[in-house]
Amino acid sequence: VFLRVQGSSCPRRRESILRQPWRYWLLLGAYGLFLLLGAAVFVGVEAPQEAGLREALRGARAGFVREHQGCLAEPGLEQLLQRVLDADSYGVSALGNVSDDENWDFSSALFFAASVLTTTGYGHTVPLSDGGKVFCIFYTLLGLPVTLLLATCLLQQLMGLLSHRPVRYLHTHWGISPGHAALGHAAAMGLSVLGLFILLPALCFWALENGWTFLESVYFCFISLSTIGLGDYVPGRGSPPSLRHLYKISITCYLLLGLLAMLLALETIYELREVHSLVRFFAPPKAPASPSNEDDDQLEILSHDQLGLATVCGATPSGSQADSEADGRAAPHDGPSG
């Protein structure tokens, strides 16, 4: 009995324990290589651009100082540039053509609140006062859980309506297997989000934002909906004053709906059988263990005397089975005898 228990359950658990670590190390190593690859590509592509920009800035500054050497002191220029940079870091521009843009009117504040609660955080507008910083902390502590709760509830409803139901329809009415139907539906969902929430809005930003190329518009839409929010491109800075509030509110609604659509597409892709197989490869599910596995193993490991006594008495090794058989044998004697 001891050999049977030890040879069936224990090696299987030990094999599962020994098999998992190399998969985690493989995943961790692949992710580390992916990070190194990304860093190397960014260095190779962006470093020459940064060097050229620095050189051009030094040349422009030196030319400006030479041109105004008689009436402009270099320390004064340094102080002015430092104040301009400090103001720009708070979202206040020193340029005359955009100096009338306000960062804390209602539409801009609504855009800021949405970017904070969705963790996009462009960084172009930040609280200036200590009271604003304190309120932002507590507002975020309360707002982030509420946002996650709302997103979870909406996703549960939308997944049944826009993901599960179409897959069942394709399987029931068209005879497509559930796996192929889910794969085709996930591809269609991804293409729909790409077209409706990235490419189409990019065309609108390309037409409305001065100086934005189509690539920069697509870049802004993707960076925003993926909640990265680098802040190098922020819409609405050069919009007409009469339409600025409506434009900011429209962008806020677009970010909220686009983020929900992105989460819906990602959740649909995550439910694919192929994705689950990949996850199980790197993180195999643990075998379900009953609460009394160790107790059952101890009960099954019988000594020779106990085994002999059970054999002589005709009882089973398990106490529960013995009790049930004893009750079964005693049941006929409870009734009236012939």
Mean pLDDT of the region 307-314: 42
Q: Flag whether pLDDT at 216 surpasses 80.
A: yes
Alpha-carbon span 199 to 194, nearest angstrom: 6
Kindly report, residue by residue over 42-60, the tens digit of the pLDDT.
Answer: 999 999 999 999 899 888 8
- % of residues, the chain, pLDDT over 70: 73
Kindly report, residue by residue over 158-205, the tens digit of the pLDDT.
Answer: 999 999 999 999 999 999 999 999 999 999 999 999 999 999 999 999
Q: Flag whether pLDDT at 61 surpasses 70.
A: yes
Alpha-carbon span 261 to 264, nearest angstrom: 5
Alpha-carbon span 206 to 314, nearest angstrom: 87
Mean pLDDT for all residues in the chain: 79
> Residues of 4-30 as b/e, b for ≥16 C-beta within 10 angstroms?
eeeeebeeeeeeeeeeeeeeeeeeeee
Residue with tokens 């409506």: 246
Nearest partner of 198 among 261, 119, 121, 108, judged by Cα: 261
Kindly report, residue by residue over 89-98, the tens digit of the pLDDT.
Answer: 676 777 665 5
Mean pLDDT of the region 217-245: 84
Q: Flag whether pLDDT at 334 surpasses 60.
A: no
Determine the pLDDT at residue 182: 94
C-beta separation of 209 from 217 below 8 A: yes
Residues 320/321/322/328 CA torsion (nearest 10 deg):
110
Determine the pLDDT at residue 128: 84
Kindly report, residue by residue over 101-149, the tens digit of the pLDDT.
Answer: 677 888 889 999 999 999 888 877 888 889 999 999 999 999 999 999 9
Q: What is the pTM of this model?
A: 0.71
